[in-house]
Every structure is written in C-alpha cells, then in structure tokens.
Amino acid sequence: MQRPRLLLSLAVVALAMLLCPPSARAQEGGLLLQIDTEYLRAMDPIQVGGLRDTQVVGLSIDANGRMGHGRIGHSAFIDAHFGAGLQGGFAYRFALLPLGVALYDKSQYVILNVASGFQLSGVTGHQPFGALAPLRVSLISRLGDHLLVNAWAASDIALRNARKGSPANLPFGDELRAGFVLRVGQSGAKGGGRQQVTFGNGYFVGVLYAERFETEFWGLTIGHGMNMRGG
C-alpha cells in the first residue's frame, strides 16, 4: 500500500519541478494534485442539444514556485478530464495554463494563483469542439492540520465562433466555470529549515458552476487530493 503512494509522490514532485522555472526549482516549489469525478446538470438542456447530464473523471494539478521566501512566484495549471454525456456523446476537457503568477501570504497557508493558457473541450453530438483561452484564478488555503479549501473561477475566451457567448455573470469572456472544494484529511512535515517538506492528503467534496451556450450548469465533484511543498 505504501509503495504506490511513494511512487505517486515522486512522480508528482518531478512534475512540479518541470512545471516551475529553474529559479523556483532551486528555491521552493509546491503543488496540489486532485483526482476526481465531476457531475454537471444543464438547467436548460435545449440550449445544449438535449444534453442534461454530463459526468467525467480525471485529474488537475496546481503547481507553483518562488525565489527564497518572496511573496510573488510562478504558477501553472494542468487539467485533463474525460467521460460521457448521460444522453450520449463523448465528453472531454484538456487545459494547459503555463503562464501564471502565485501570491503567497506570510503564513504560507494561503496561495492565490492566476494563470492563463489554452483549453480544448466539448461533448460530441451536443457541444461543439471548443478552443478556449482561459484566465483562471484559484485560492488554496490550509485551515489547520486537517482541512484544505480550494476555490477557483475561470473566464474562457472562445477562439471559435461556435462557442462564443455572453455569460450573465461575467464582464468579459464567453464561458464561465467555478468551483469550491473542501478536503478533509491529514498533513505533516519532514526535515527542518530549508530542507523541510510539508505534505497532506485526504478526500474532498465540492460544488461546481458553469455558464455556456446561454444556460447555467450546476454540479458536484468528489475525489482524493494531495499537496506537497519543499525547498
């Protein structure tokens, strides 16, 4: 049981090192990995070709790094989810957001990430293929030793006319996505000083919201997450 977790931890650390710039790798880096399933329901399925329910599974990674103990660093985000519409169709979403800034508070328990890049998504037969340029903002906060909050929102600018729209709750962009996740688990630390590594893991549940194709979507997500930070 311990060996798969060790291999997963090593793989996650290696990915964080690749995502962060060399200066951050030499100083301090961290990441949040989430493996989950998401369920979304359209409030007006007529607007999305009769597709009311969609379920996907996949993973997402928030990575960040900084020089020393500064308040500003680099951040990046990866997202890959695949599944199906319950009324038919193959659902997919892949995002790579390498251009980001991370803001740290003094306690290091709160990190604000702002990142941008590209995203591909759609549901065959219902929602047309979309090439999007997202602007994603996330707030990750540890609440003591057992709770972690991850809240995020993204404004997506459509690069194809088939996905252009005007969400009612956005001053700009064509699509809106947001989520709030609460994780319950455990955390710990190894080493000391600059060699200290902090880590945590646990199960989470969250609420999802989206606007696209002139309709609202509400949903739920459940899964398992782990975070790690070290110098």
Given a cut of 70, whether residue 23 has pLDDT beyond it is no
pLDDT score for 190? 80
- CB-based contacts of 47: which residues, under 8 Å, 6+ apart? 213, 214, 215
pLDDT in tens, 63-109: 988 876 678 889 999 999 999 999 999 999 999 999 999 988 766 66
CA distances from 143 to 13, 52, 183, 187, 195 (A): 23, 36, 10, 11, 23
Given a cut of 80, whether residue 167 has pLDDT beyond it is no
Name the percent of the chain lying above pLDDT 70: 81
Question: Which domains are seen in the chain, by residue range?
Answer: 2-230 (2.40.160)
pLDDT band at 25 (very low <50, low <70, confident <90, very high): very low
Contact 211, 168 (CB under 8 A): yes
Instruction: Please give the torsion angle defined by the CA atoms of residues 205, 134, 47 and 37, in that order, rounded to the nearest 10 degrees.
Output: -20
